[in-house]
Amino acid sequence: MNRIKKRERMRLYRLKHREEIRKKAKIYRIEHRDELRISRLAYKLKNKEKIKEKRKIYLEKNKDKITKQAHEYAMSHRKERYIYNIKNKKRKRERELKVKYGLSLEEYNNILKLQNGVCAICYGVGGKKGLAVDHCHKTNKIRGLLCSNCNCSIGLLKENIELLDKIKIYLLKYK
């Protein structure tokens, strides 16, 4: 019985002194920022699997809610995203090259110079986006730069040389 009374007194105290408690907590967080950050990181490292499992359960449970929120956010920030993408076109391209292919913009431009600014297969000029980076999907090794038509063709053929030979025979047969 005593515990219940104590709990109730604490609850009433927190309600009455809410603002004061918030101010003290904020000051504490500012003064001990680094310690708290280290503590959070240590917890995350120690409980990686537990956190991953909780996140997975939460995502499964709230899938519709999360999808709806993401859609609403995307729609309400469409204009800002568009403006940001225009202003940061070069930066976005650099990040895309680095993340997808491990390639810097300078390395991309060097390959482009070696190919004289044209597609490695058909010698055509790239479209709006320029030339695409062609790479082996098994080894991630970069082979060269291709126009979108040649790059898509290789992708649709699933890099299968035998299929390419069959297509060549077929086209020659009906020439």
- The three-point CA angle 97-78-64 to 5° equals 95
State the chain's mean pLDDT as an integer: 91
Of residues 125 and 73, the one with the higher pLDDT is: 73
CB contact burial 34-53 (16+ within 10 A = b; e otherwise): eeeeeeeeeeeeeeeeeeee
Q: Which residue is listed with tokens 């120690």?
A: 46
Predicted local distance difference test score (pLDDT) of residue 158 = 85
Predicted local distance difference test score (pLDDT) of residue 140 = 84
For the cut 80, the answer to whether the pLDDT of residue 128 exceeds it is no
Of residues 34 and 158, the one with the higher pLDDT is: 34
The token pair that represents 14 in the structure block:
């927190």
Q: Which residues pair with 134 in a beta bridge?
A: 144
* Whether the predicted model's global pTM rises above the 0.85 cut: no
Q: Are 159 and 137 in contact (CB under 8 A)?
A: yes
For the cut 80, the answer to whether the pLDDT of residue 48 exceeds it is yes
Q: Are 131 and 156 in contact (CB under 8 A)?
A: no
- The three-point CA angle 102-132-110 to 5° equals 60
Where residue 10 falls among pLDDT bands split at 50, 70, 90?
A: very high
Predicted local distance difference test score (pLDDT) of residue 1 = 60
Q: In angstroms, what is the C-alpha Rg of the chain?
A: 28
pLDDT (tens digit per residue) in 67-117 = 999 999 999 999 998 998 888 988 988 998 999 999 998 999 999 999 999
Domain ranges of the chain: 86-173
CATH code linked to domain 86-173 = 3.40.1800.10
DSSP state of 102: S
